[in-house]
Chain A
Amino acid sequence: DTGVSQDPRHKITKRGQNVTFRCDPISEHNRLYWYRQTLGQGPEFLTYFQNEAQLEKSRLLSDRFSAERPKGSFSTLEIQRTEQGDSAMYLCASSRRLGTSGRGTDTQYFGPGTRLTVL
């Protein structure tokens, strides 16, 4: 399977605990995105990387959230001191983009998501 993969698929945790999710993009894709989706809403952008550089973070992303992509391949998203409001589906997407400026015509492909439930 050459699609985007995410691990774990489900995570149940208690309020206050830290959690970490992993995303493996499609192998030739240099861009990797994280989104969050809650029930009845479309995905909301959190952050994205081009190679190992984090190019943008949403203002929605509190300082409890951190994402890394150390070698420009897989990425991790960590949530510290989880709150019940963090319960959501966390989606990862990847794309192949040439350059960092100008009009892009890349297409994002999504993984299956990690469903987080904070008790």
Chain B
Amino acid sequence: AQSVSQHNHHVILSEAASLELGCNYSYGGTVNLFWYVQYPGQHLQLLLKYFSGDPLVKGIKGFEAEFIKSKFSFNLRKPSVQWSDTAEYFCAVNPDSWGKLQFGAGTQVVVTP
């Protein structure tokens, strides 16, 4: 079955540490890729997206993600996290010409002071 996999369900790290969250998908062909974030008590917000072009995309709040087509991956990174990055992070895939998004199960990130 076609799917989106996020490798870690929970990540705990200290402020200033680097963050990398893995996302792999199983669709062939062209895909649109997204990372959404849900801060405590807030709704899903778009962090960044990839449609085409440069596989390294930059988003809000210092986040970036790299699309590696050969590995079917779209990993999210931030060099130095802050306490305010505590949130749940979702990877989502929109296969070519589909309307719907397929989401991973999410990764809960807790940043300790």
Which chain A residues have a beta carbon within 8 Å of chain B's beta carbons?
A: 31, 33, 35, 40-45, 48, 50, 55-56, 58, 91, 93, 97, 101-105, 107-113
**A42–B103 touching, CB < 8 Å:** yes
Q: Contacts A91-B43, A104-B97 given; 9 further ones with Cβ under 8 A? A: A33-B100, A35-B101, A42-B104, A43-B44, A93-B101, A102-B97, A103-B97, A105-B51, A110-B45
**Also in contact, A104 and B44, with CB within 8 A (given A41-B106, A42-B105, A42-B106):** no
Nearest-neighbour CB distance to chain B for A35, whole angstroms, equals: 8
Sorting the interface of chain B by its residue count into under 10, 10 to 19, 20 to 34 or 35 or more gives 20 to 34
**Also in contact, A105 and B100, with CB within 8 A (given A42-B90, A42-B92, A112-B43):** no
Instruction: A108 to B4: give the CA distance in the assembly, Å.
Output: 17
Instruction: A51 to B32: give the CA distance in the assembly, Å.
Output: 22
**B99–A44 touching, CB < 8 Å:** no
**A45–B100 touching, CB < 8 Å:** yes
Consensus secondary structure, chain A interface: loop
With beta carbons under 8 angstroms apart, the residue of B44, B96, B103 that contacts A103 is B96
Smallest CB-CB A-B distances: 8 pairs: A42-B103, A45-B100, A110-B44, A112-B43, A105-B51, A48-B99, A43-B103, A42-B90
Which chain B residues have a beta carbon within 8 Å of chain A's beta carbons?
A: 4, 9, 30, 32, 34, 36, 42-46, 49, 51, 90, 92, 94, 96-97, 99-106
Nearest-neighbour CB distance to chain A for B43, whole angstroms, equals: 4
Contacts of A45 in B (CB 8 A): 100-102
Contacts of B49 in A (CB 8 A): 107
**Also in contact, A104 and B99, with CB within 8 A (given A110-B43, A113-B43):** yes
